[in-house]
Amino acid sequence: MKSISSRNQKIIMIPKTYNILSDCIETGILYGLRKSKKHSDDPTDEVVSQEIDRAIWSELHNKFNFEIESEEYEGEVNY
């Protein structure tokens, strides 16, 4: 959430998380499908699934910072 002050007004920007997530997932699926077929005309379901998974997480990491909160480890997750 970001706050902007202008004269006597305070404007608060709230991200539309659902829309951002939806865009990341849709883009990841399309990119993953294309990438899975890059080296094979008939990739296995496992290859397609792995490429889609990687592409979705890549899109999510471009839009969000992930942090782990636990007693064992605290900090930012970088992949």
Q: What is the DSSP string of 40-75?
A: -SS--HHHHHHHHHHHHHHHHHHH---EEESSS-EE
Question: Block means of pLDDT (10 residues each) for the chain, length 79 residues?
Answer: 71 94 98 94 96 97 88 63
CA distance 8 to 31: 45
Q: What is the pLDDT of residue 8?
A: 82
Q: What is the pLDDT of residue 76?
A: 61
Domain locations in the chain as residue ranges = 15-76
Q: What is the pLDDT of residue 67?
A: 86
